[in-house]
Structure 1
Amino acid sequence: MMYKNFPMVPRVVFGRGSFDQLDQILAEKRSSPKSPMVFLVDDVFSTNDAFIKRIPKRDRDHIIFINADNEPKTIQVDSLRETIFSRTAEVPEGIIGIGGGTVMDLAKAVSIMLTNPGSSADYQGWDLVKYPAVYHVGIPTISGTGAEVSRTTVLTGPKKKLGINSDYTPFDQVVLDPELTKGVDTKQWFYTGMDCYIHCIESLNGTYLNAFSKSYGEKALDLCRDVFTHKSVVDDESQDQLMMASWHGGMSIAYSQVGVAHAMSYGLSYLLGTRHGVGNCIVFDHLEEFYPEGVAEFKEMVKKHNITIPQGVCSNLSDEDFDTMIEVAMGLGPLWENAVGVDWRKTVTPEKLRGLYEKM
């Protein structure tokens, strides 16, 4: 039997205030003092002068602010590549992503597309990338997606929503500074944290489950429960815990997969532009058939933190719209196989998915 030989993030620094070590970290990767690097930064920080001053930008470096209101798209990746080339006139030595899951995915995708020809849409799938990416660093400012550690970068393309899943996708360096998550909107904190909780439930209840994924998934789930079930306020400890839950949750699916909620939320995102964390919550709220204990616990967390899950998002869709979402969702075979088994198509039919979407 051949086992998967997955790459992992080779270097990581964790700690409150560790962001201030970034200049030292990047200096080791600059071939000369004039080597350009590009910082992709969530534009929520664009008016935060104090934070911008902490970014170790050198003379030929560039900061590009990223609007993260929408899910990352292949056309956005391709446009960023052209913008970077126009500014640097050469392949930069590094891409540093500072932000949430959207910025993490864009940073990974852009670093790949700086060294690979064509459109990023050409690489949506498994192991399609031909050449190594440029050096890339992930610095999450919100916790839950696991994008900082995962082997994929999820993008919405012209025909599908699917990740660039390759050995060249993971970051070369990650900086985990829980202080950067301070001030995150409560709803966003919850929805993104639930992304971690949900993909742990999917991994731990999946047919792909093994000791590797179980060990990470169980720890991530314990941390999520401590944050969202046992606490009522977001304090320093819970910031630290959720950041590590995100890390462990991302590791848990390195050797397994996510499941029904993620597959169906891809359909919502592709058609309606629903943000990933919100979409997972909308779907998971109706998945008692697949994850009864997890959904019951999820509903208690929603109640405890006074979160209102959007309802009726599919109420005015046409037959064509439903068909589009169903096609996107059913195109994610590994997710369904993990959730239901190799014969998943016998039970997961278009009609069944239509019925579930209609409840949302």
Structure 2
Amino acid sequence: MAYKNYPMVSRVIFGRGSFNQLGDILEPMRLNEKAPFIFLVDDVFKGNSWLTSRIPLAYKDEIIYISADEEPKTSQVDELVEQLILSHNDRPSGIIGIGGGTILDLAKAVAIMLTNEGLAKDYQGWDLVKFPAIYHVGIPTISGTGSEVSRTTVLTGPEKKLGINSDFTPFDQVILDPELTKDVPTNQWFYTGMDCFIHCVESLNGTYLNAFSKTYGEKAYELCKEIFLENNLSEKESQDKLMMASWHGGMSIAYSQVGVAHAMSYGLSYLLGTKHGIGNCIVFDHLSEFYPEDVKLFKDMKAKHKIDLPQNICRDLDDNEFNIMIDIALSLEPLWENALGKQWKQKISREKLISLYKKM
């Protein structure tokens, strides 16, 4: 048996205020004065001098503000790459993503596509990237997605929602500064936190489970329970712990896989544009037969934080639209095999998926 040789983030810095060290970290990585660092920044920080004034711009460095209102698209990656090639004579010294999962995934994808020919959609899948990405840095400003540690960048393409999964995807450097998450709205905090919780549930209940995944998954799972169900954490402790839960949750699926909730939420995201975190929550709410104890815990967390999930988002869909979602979900075969085993096709039917989607 051949075991996966998994690439890790090679350098990581953790601590409140560690964002201030970004300039020192980037300086030795600058190729020359004409090769800029490109900062892809969530546009919620536009005009927020508390963060933006600390971005260490020099020479031809550039900030590009990006809306995270929609999931990242392959076409968006292609447009950004083209914009960078046309506006700078030299290849950038590096891409720095500052934001949530959407921005981090875009940063990873742009870094890859600056060194690989063709369109981003050509690389949706497993191990299709041929050349190393340029230097890229991830700085999460919201915790839970695990994008800061994963070897995938999830993109919606013209035909599917699927990641660029490759050994060249992970960041070269990550800065984990919990202080950057201080202004996240409660709903958003919950949805991305639950993305982490669901990573752990699907990893720990999957057939791919092994000691590597289990060790990380169990730690992140316990942290999520502490953060979302107990009352004794200060705001700072909660921020610190959720940032580490996100890291461990991302690591737990590195050497295993996610499951039913992620597969089905990809369908929602592709057809309806549902954001990843909330999509996972909407699906997971209806998966008691797959993850009974964990769905009960999820409902307790939802009640504790007074979260009202959108209802009936699939109410007006026709048969063709249901089939599009089901095709997307079923195309993610490793997720189903992890969730239900090698005989998963005997255990899940299109009718079953339609009945589940109709509840959402």
Does the TM-score normalized on the shorter chain lie above 0.5? yes
Secondary structure of residue in 1 paired with 2:254: coil
Match of 1:124 in 2: 124
Any unmatched runs of 5+ in structure 2?
Answer: none
How many residues are paired up?
360
- Report if the CA contact (8 A) 1:18-1:176 is conserved: yes
Report the alpha carbon displacement of residue 87 of structure 1 after superposing the two structures with TM: 2.0
Report the alpha carbon displacement of residue 308 of structure 1 after superposing the two structures with TM: 0.4
- Report if the CA contact (8 A) 2:35-2:91 is conserved: no
Secondary structure of residue in 1 paired with 2:65: strand
Secondary structure of residue in 1 paired with 2:29: coil
TM-score w.r.t. length of structure 1: 0.99
Q: Spell out, residue by residue over 1:274-310, the C-alpha distance to the aligned partner (whole angstroms, 9 max, x if none).
A: 0000000000000001000000000000000000011
Alpha-carbon distance in 2 for matches of 1:316, 1:196? 30
Secondary structure of residue in 1 paired with 2:8: coil
Q: 1:308 corresponds to which letter in structure 2?
A: D
Match of 1:212 in 2: 212
Match of 1:295 in 2: 295
Q: How does 1:1-360 map to 2 (within 5 A)?
A: 1-231=1-231, 235-360=235-360
Report the alpha carbon displacement of residue 18 of structure 1 after superposing the two structures with TM: 0.1
Q: Spell out, residue by residue over 1:173-214, the C-alpha distance to the aligned partner (whole angstroms, 9 max, x if none).
A: 000000000010100000000000011000000000000000
Alpha-carbon distance in 2 for matches of 1:331, 1:165? 15
Q: Spell out, residue by residue over 1:103-151, the C-alpha distance to the aligned partner (whole angstroms, 9 max, x if none).
A: 0000000000000011000000000001110000000000000000000
Secondary structure of residue in 2 paired with 1:51: helix
Judged with a 3 Å threshold, the aligned counterparts in structure 2 of structure 1 residues 271 and 229 are, in CA distance, closer, same or farther, namely: same
Alpha-carbon distance in 2 for matches of 1:16, 1:145? 19
Report the alpha carbon displacement of residue 233 of structure 1 after superposing the two structures with TM: 7.2
Report the alpha carbon displacement of residue 225 of structure 1 after superposing the two structures with TM: 0.6
Secondary structure of residue in 1 paired with 2:303: helix
- Report if the CA contact (8 A) 1:38-1:95 is conserved: yes
Q: 2:237 corresponds to which letter in structure 1?
A: E
Alpha-carbon distance in 2 for matches of 1:43, 1:231? 32
Report the alpha carbon displacement of residue 88 of structure 1 after superposing the two structures with TM: 1.5
- Report if the CA contact (8 A) 2:259-2:338 is conserved: yes
Secondary structure of residue in 2 paired with 1:278: helix
Alpha-carbon distance in 1 for matches of 2:296, 2:234? 23
Secondary structure of residue in 2 paired with 1:253: helix
Report the alpha carbon displacement of residue 35 of structure 1 after superposing the two structures with TM: 3.0
Judged with a 3 Å threshold, the aligned counterparts in structure 2 of structure 1 residues 160 and 277 are, in CA distance, closer, same or farther, namely: same
Alpha-carbon distance in 1 for matches of 2:231, 2:321? 40
Identity level (%): 68
Alpha-carbon distance in 2 for matches of 1:163, 1:175? 23
TM-score w.r.t. length of structure 2: 0.99
- Report if the CA contact (8 A) 1:232-1:305 is conserved: no
Q: 1:45 corresponds to which letter in structure 2?
A: F
Q: 2:2 corresponds to which letter in structure 1?
A: M
Report the alpha carbon displacement of residue 232 of structure 1 after superposing the two structures with TM: 7.7
Structure 1 runs (4+) greater than 4 angstroms displaced: none
Alpha-carbon distance in 2 for matches of 1:352, 1:232? 41
- Report if the CA contact (8 A) 2:34-2:90 is conserved: no
Report the alpha carbon displacement of residue 272 of structure 1 after superposing the two structures with TM: 0.1
When structure 1 is superposed on structure 2, of 226-235 and 130-139 the one drifting more is: 226-235
Q: Spell out, residue by residue over 1:51-99, the C-alpha distance to the aligned partner (whole angstroms, 9 max, x if none).
A: 2110001121111001100000000000000111122222101000000
- Report if the CA contact (8 A) 2:229-2:301 is conserved: yes
